[in-house]
Amino acid sequence: MKNSLKSYIFLDTKNLFQTVAISLLLTLFACNQKWDTKISSPETNDSLKKIGRYYDDKWKNFYDNDQLKLALKNYITAAKYYEQTDEIKNRRWVTRDMGKIEYKQGNYEEALEYFQDALEILKDTNYLRGELLTNVAIAAVYNEQGKEDSLKYDMALTQYLSPGLEILRKQEDKDKKQKNLMVQYLVETGNSYFKKKNYENALSHRTEAKTITEEIGELQNIPAIYYNFGDLYEEQGEYDQVLENYQQWIQLSKEKNILTNERNGYEHVYFFYKKHTEDADSTLKYHELWILLKDSVANSELLKSQQETEIIYESEKKDKEIKLQKSELDKQSEKQKKLLWFIVAILATVLWMVIIGVRENRRKKQLAKTNKVINNQNIQLKEKNKEITVQRDEITAQRDEIEAQRDGLAESNKIIENQHREITDSINYATRIQKGVMTPLEEIKEIFPQSFIFFKPKDIVSGDFYRAAKNTQGKRFIAAPDCTGHGVPWAFMFLLNCDSLDDAVNRESTKTAADILNYANIYLPKKFHQEHKESEEGKLKDTMDVALCAIDENNMLEFALAKNPAILIRNRECIEFKEEKHAIGSGEYTYTNKSFQWEKWDVIYLFSDWFEDQFGWPKGKKFLVKQLKELFQSIADLPMEEQKIHLENTFESRRGNLEQVDDVLVIGFRV
């Protein structure tokens, strides 16, 4: 090894100089190239992105304000900067934006070509939202072209609007963007039907668009919706509705300070009065308002045009300044490169002189230093070997301990998995027992043909259940009970409560709904042998809340209500039957019987308390009984199965992502 070191140290002076000099020149050349690149292209990738986004924001602002020439100019500038970076990969909607500008200028063929190109790109990248946005844009073009070719309306509906609307309706938990997109589809679909003179479908789609727009708070779009309603009612000859919607259009345009919309509103009202009425005063009034605002809009557009001209002038002036600055920068760059090469030459000369001067001294010191380093390294190597041996033994011991722990953990996991599987199987079997004990839905349909049951347990096994029966006198009974308690105690209470209700219905002495609850109220304490227990600790804790309804052959209704109310909807009016504040199981209370004569189309609702107690989206507030009553009033005229679907959808949409509070049970029926 010493001989090798000597050979290295005593290299020929000429070879050493050449090696060091070449390394220096290559290093300086690389630095120069990097510096030169920086001089000639001062914008980095990030700065180019920022400039591109700046022009991107500008073109969108000009587009929203109908300054289309400036929008197009700034859009092209933004695209130019994006193409110099990797940002272009994320701009899958480039051609779609160009289509929007062409559409707004009335160049429908050019817009359609851009939109269809964009759609092909978006399909390749599997960007569904982009596809939906482009589809509704293509449909808007077809609706404009339908004035010349009515088949375009059908193409817009069948090829783009209906499939896209179907996709959006299937999406669950829609966010604000998805709802806003759905509004665009509903508005454009309404426009297609309106132009096809299918006014019923046009009205339904525009009404749904208005409802969603108000729900998500996009109130700037409401004036245009009222305008659409006005045109629709005018075509149908409903002139009171026309004026009402046009006035709403004008009022909201004023509030949003949209002069063109307000002007167009006055124009439509003026022509409406002129065409359909003989009210000369109103005709003159709205004509004057239209002309006055027309002049204001014209002045505004003239001012906007002047601003566009000034902006274009300033932009061109700025471009010239940038080009001039770049030219000056290039000149400075050339001078600095020449200076750099001069410095390189001086440094190379100085380096050569230094190498010759210090080489001899370094050679002598290097040998002694190298020998010392080798000795120290040998000593350290021996110490390291000892440390490595100790660490290896420690690692081996730790590995053995970890393997033992791993084996023990695996065995524990198997035990836990078996226990979990047994518990789950037991709960699932309990569910089958519960379903087997509860009245079958087919039997309920035989007793109450026009009925529904909305039953949604919180967990696998429910504390709520439903019961229906018919006694030998032809009297029909239906109940919505709610057992208190949980786990194994609840399971026993469920069976006892079912048994108590069944036993009461089949007894000749229980003739009314109140008789059944009074029987059950005594039945439960007797089963637990508690009728003589005086201490609170010995008394029954878990009881039952129940709403029970009975109907005889003369359609006389009877109610008995233990802590759960009942609601009757008659002619869309809500009649509430208040519950009694005593649960079944105390044995110390007598329930009263409430009678009511049934009328055709009456609907009765029995329910547990957890529908209105459910916390709801978005503010986490409860549904409350008032809202539940209003919901029943709104659906009472629907077929029973549709009522059930409406309740399910309302519950799920209100709940959102929040956890279900408890079991939910709602029973509705007509006689």
- Do the Cβ atoms of 445 and 462 come closer than 8 Å? no
- Do the Cβ atoms of 616 and 623 come closer than 8 Å? yes
Report helix angle 487-505 to 513-527, nearest 10.
130
- For the segment 638-667, the average pLDDT, to the nearest whole number, is 89
Q: What is the 3-state secondary structure (H, E, C) of 2-68?
A: HHHHHHHHCCCHHHHHHHHHHHHHHHHHHHHHHHHHHHHCCCCHHHHHHHHHHHHHHHHHHHHCCCH
**Which of 35-49, 410-424, 526-540 comes out lowest in average pLDDT?**
35-49
- Do the Cβ atoms of 124 and 134 come closer than 8 Å? no
State the Cα–Cα distance between residues 467 and 463, nearest whole angstrom. Answer: 13
- Do the Cβ atoms of 614 and 664 come closer than 8 Å? yes
Position 306 pLDDT exceeds 70: no
The better pLDDT of the pair 492, 416 is held by 416
CA 69 to mean position of chain CA atoms: 36
What pLDDT is stored for residue 647 in this prediction?
Answer: 93
State the Cα–Cα distance between residues 208 and 3, nearest whole angstrom. Answer: 93
Could you tell me the pLDDT band of residue 83, with boundaries at 50, 70 and 90?
low
What pLDDT is stored for residue 219 in this prediction?
Answer: 59
Question: Hey, is 434 helix, strand or coil?
Answer: helix
What pLDDT is stored for residue 533 in this prediction?
Answer: 56
- For the segment 262-271, the average pLDDT, to the nearest whole number, is 77
- Do the Cβ atoms of 249 and 232 come closer than 8 Å? no
What pLDDT is stored for residue 242 in this prediction?
Answer: 74
What pLDDT is stored for residue 605 in this prediction?
Answer: 96
What pLDDT is stored for residue 89 in this prediction?
Answer: 46
- Do the Cβ atoms of 96 and 115 come closer than 8 Å? yes
What pLDDT is stored for residue 228 in this prediction?
Answer: 77
Position 50 pLDDT exceeds 60: yes
The better pLDDT of the pair 364, 531 is held by 364
**Which of 151-155, 409-413, 665-669 comes out lowest in average pLDDT?**
409-413
Q: Which among 585, 73, 7 is positioned nearest to 319, based on CA atoms?
A: 73
Mean pLDDT in the chain?
78
State the Cα–Cα distance between residues 138 and 474, nearest whole angstrom. Answer: 64
What pLDDT is stored for residue 35 in this prediction?
Answer: 42
DSSP code string of 335-361: HHHHHHHHHHHHHHHHHHHHHHHHHHH
Model confidence over 372-408: pLDDT tens digits? 888 888 888 888 888 888 888 888 888 888 888 887 7
The better pLDDT of the pair 188, 46 is held by 188
State the Cα–Cα distance between residues 98 and 94, nearest whole angstrom. Answer: 7
- Do the Cβ atoms of 82 and 91 come closer than 8 Å? yes
Position 567 pLDDT exceeds 90: yes
Could you tell me the pLDDT band of residue 630, with boundaries at 50, 70 and 90?
very high
Position 440 pLDDT exceeds 60: yes
pTM check: above 0.75: no
What pLDDT is stored for residue 94 in this prediction?
Answer: 62
Question: Hey, is 473 helix, strand or coil?
Answer: coil
Question: Hey, is 604 helix, strand or coil?
Answer: strand
* Helix, strand, coil in percent for the chain, rounding step 5: 70, 10, 20
State the Cα–Cα distance between residues 657 and 366, nearest whole angstrom. Answer: 75
Structure tokens, 475: 């009297």
Top mean-pLDDT range of 53-57, 69-73, 165-169, 290-294: 165-169
**Which of 2-16, 257-271, 290-304, 501-515 comes out lowest in average pLDDT?**
2-16
- Tell me which amino acid residue 662 is: D
DSSP code string of 453-469: EEEE-SSSS-SB--EEE
Model confidence over 455-502: pLDDT tens digits? 988 877 777 889 999 988 889 999 999 887 655 566 677 788 888 888
- Strands, E, within 177-222: which ranges? none
Pairing of strands 451-456, 664-669: antiparallel
- For the segment 291-308, the average pLDDT, to the nearest whole number, is 58
Question: Hey, is 551 helix, strand or coil?
Answer: strand
- Portion of the chain with pLDDT greater than 70, in percent: 75
Q: Which among 553, 551, 643, 562 is positioned nearest to 608, based on CA atoms?
A: 562
- Tell me which amino acid residue 174 is: K
Structure tokens, 574: 């809500």
- Do the Cβ atoms of 491 and 473 come closer than 8 Å? no
State the Cα–Cα distance between residues 364 and 496, nearest whole angstrom. Answer: 106
What pLDDT is stored for residue 391 in this prediction?
Answer: 85
Structure tokens, 656: 């959102």
